[in-house]
Amino acid sequence: MSMNEMMGGHIVNRFNDEMSQLHGLVLKLSELARSQMHDAVKTLDDEDCEAAQVVIERDKKLNDLDIEADDEIIRLIAKRQPMAKDLRDIIAVGKIVSDLERIGDQARWVARMTIHFYDGDKLPPNHHLLDDIPRMAEMVDEMIIKAMGAFENLDLEQALDVIQLNLELENEFKSALRRLSTYLMDDARHVGHVTEVVLGLRAIERAGGYAKNIAGYVVFLVKGTDVRHESLEQVAAEVRAEAW
């Protein structure tokens, strides 16, 4: 069942329209957050500081959409006093837009890394130090796509996939840290670059965490339970539990 099918059908058609518009805003935010992360990682690969600056400046668009969504949410709550799944929907949307905006902040961090590495006459990093960044960024992209798919289709199995992927992302992050430490052991002069890369990886890992949060909000929207701090097994049990 799609979001529109489940959330529509109000006696007040205007409310249906307003909720649809709000959902549209969330999807727009998610596309922008994805492209920000994609473009930020590309600037690193292309060693393109100008493009990195564009990514940094474009973050304002995400901030503006975040504020626009919050304004709309406040207006909807005041005007419609939503209950039950409508209330959960609006609360979940409020949290989703915040986390999408934060994904954008992490993309900005990656873009800054490009400028730190390639702006001016500084010695660029060994390319092997950056190997994990595109791989982890791809994982995060898949997580955002799935999380938004779960939101659009209220698909709890897809939400579970995202939580599973986040565990894999965290393992990937740990492996990347181990790999980076071997470079440091080989040559301590890598320390500056390694520190930057660790911060970049950390930003991508956090973006994945936000995507996982979004999956949790979808579970909250559909089931009414807060699973943010529960293990994958606990969430799976909650998702598959029959009501009553």
List residues near another protein by CB under 8 A: 9-12, 15, 81-88, 223-225, 243-244
The three state secondary structure string of 13-28 is HHHHHHHHHHHHHHHH
Of 83 and 188, CB closest to another protein: 83
Of 9 and 24, CB closest to another protein: 9
Q: How far is the CB of 18 from another protein (least distance, A)?
A: 13
> Which residue type does 97 have?
V
Of 10 and 202, CB closest to another protein: 10
Q: How far is the CB of 154 from another protein (least distance, A)?
A: 14
Radius of gyration (Cα) for the chain, nearest Å? 20
Of 82 and 200, CB closest to another protein: 82
Q: CA–CA separation, 221 vs 103, rounded Å?
A: 21
Q: CA–CA separation, 202 vs 101, rounded Å?
A: 17
Q: How far is the CB of 11 from another protein (least distance, A)?
A: 5
Of 77 and 184, CB closest to another protein: 77
Q: How far is the CB of 84 from another protein (least distance, A)?
A: 5
Q: How far is the CB of 96 from another protein (least distance, A)?
A: 18
Q: How far is the CB of 100 from another protein (least distance, A)?
A: 24
Of 15 and 109, CB closest to another protein: 15
Both tokens of residue 44? 């690193």
Q: Please report the DSSP string for 165-204 in residue order.
A: HHHHHHHHHHHHHHHHHHHHHH-GGGHHHHHHHHHHHHHH
Q: Which long-range CB contacts under 8 A does 126-131 form with residues at least 24 apart?
A: 126/183, 126/190, 126/193, 128/183, 129/180, 129/183, 129/190, 129/193, 129/194, 129/197, 130/44, 130/45, 130/197, 131/179
Q: What are phi and psi of 159, to 5 degrees?
A: -60, -40
